[in-house]
Amino acid sequence: MKTAITELFGIQHPIIQGGMHYVGFAELAAAVSNAGGLGIITGLTQRTPELLAKEIARCRDMTDKPFGVNLTFLPSFTAPPYPEYIAAIREGGVRIVETAGRSPEQYMPALKAAGIKVIHKCTSVRHSLKAEKIGCDAVSVDGFECGGHPGEDDIPNMILLPRAADELKIPFVASGGMADARSLVAALAMGAAGMNMGTRFIATKEAPVHPNVKKALVDATELDTRLVMRALRNTERVLKNKGVDQLIEIEREKGGALKIEDIHEQVSGVYPKVMVDGDMEAGAWSCGMVVGLINDVPTVKELIDRIMSEAEQIIRSRLTGFLNGVEVKPPARAVA
Ligand SMILES: Cc1cc2nc3c(=O)[nH]c(=O)nc-3n(C[C@H](O)[C@H](O)[C@H](O)COP(=O)(O)O)c2cc1C
């Protein structure tokens, strides 16, 4: 399949693995890139630019295909040394960066001078247009369903994607709620040139996380995510667990007076506890509603091959069938 995204990034399939804290290590990024998608290392999971340089070198040892690095611009008082992270990316020969969080505007000159293609993750049409204006090459349009930070507008992809298609000139991928061939074909129909998946890629053999995490994803349904930190205007979609129940209780008590210190225990330092130790009750970690569509733990290649072959089946048989007056059933839910 050829789209504006496969052409822009030099990849075989229009499937991107979004940056994920404590998940987006070299093992997963390389597996996605080797399977023909675009794998992404999560920059800030590496505590220093030197460690990121090592992670990039490790990824390069595992794949000769293009891969990217995620740089998340956080609202924090002590900003990470972003220019040094960008230098590590440039010197590591990485030519694709996924930015997220705040606008990457102030770092665009450095990224562009290094010949880096930038895809910015946005949760609204207005932020997507801003990204286009400041020179981003593409955007990842992240709907309300998404795992992580859906923003504060609460617009699901059924509306957000066609709205983005109406306004944007640069290509975009659909992000949030994407899991299978049906997601990909629907995203393409709504004007996207591919899809970005987060949660789905955690439930793969190569994702370097504790087996408890993968089991929790297979067991959970679409009813099991919660939105937290809305009062702080830092809304995050997370998987429900005991720590999250406590967090929601504190939010209920404090109302509009909630401060980040009130929920420190439930949101800080949770990722290593969950992803490394497999403590599934530890607190808030990002997870999308798409968890309801995850029923197996395939290899990354099995997942991507399945998506691409079923997408072809949907387009060639089911959709063309409608035009020819023959109804063809959608592919049965695949379990590896
Ligand atoms: C566990 C987890 C951690 C994430 N960490 C980050 C991150 O550090 N930076 C970022 O830009 N996005 C992060 N995301 C968001 C993903 O890159 C992606 O946009 C999102 O998962 C898409 O929604 P989906 O989960 O429905 O596929 C994270 C998502 C998950 C599930």
Is the shortest distance between the CB of 27 and ligand 1 below 6 Å?
no
> How far is the centre of ligand 1, averaged over its atoms, from the C-alpha of 20 (Å)?
5
| CA 240 vs CA 182, 217, 251: distances in Å | 26, 11, 15
Whole-structure pTM value: 0.97
Q: Which residues contact 43 (CB under 8 A, 6 or more apart)?
A: 19, 52, 69, 70, 71, 72, 85, 89
Is the shortest distance between the CB of 100 and ligand 1 below 6 Å?
yes
pLDDT for 333: 64
Which of 55, 146, 213, 224 has most ligand 1 atoms within 8 Å of its beta carbon, as the pocket-test mutant? Answer: 146
pLDDT for 329: 84
> How far is the centre of ligand 1, averaged over its atoms, from the C-alpha of 15 (Å)?
14
What CA–CA distance (Å, rounded) separates 32 from 102? 26
pLDDT in tens, the chain (336 residues): 999 999 999 999 999 999 999 999 999 999 999 999 999 999 999 999 999 999 999 999 999 999 999 999 987 768 899 999 999 999 999 999 999 999 999 999 999 999 999 999 999 999 999 999 999 999 999 999 999 999 999 999 999 999 999 999 999 999 999 999 999 999 999 999 999 999 999 999 999 999 999 999 999 999 999 999 999 999 999 999 999 999 999 999 999 999 999 999 999 999 999 999 999 999 999 999 999 999 999 999 999 999 999 999 999 999 999 999 998 888 776 554
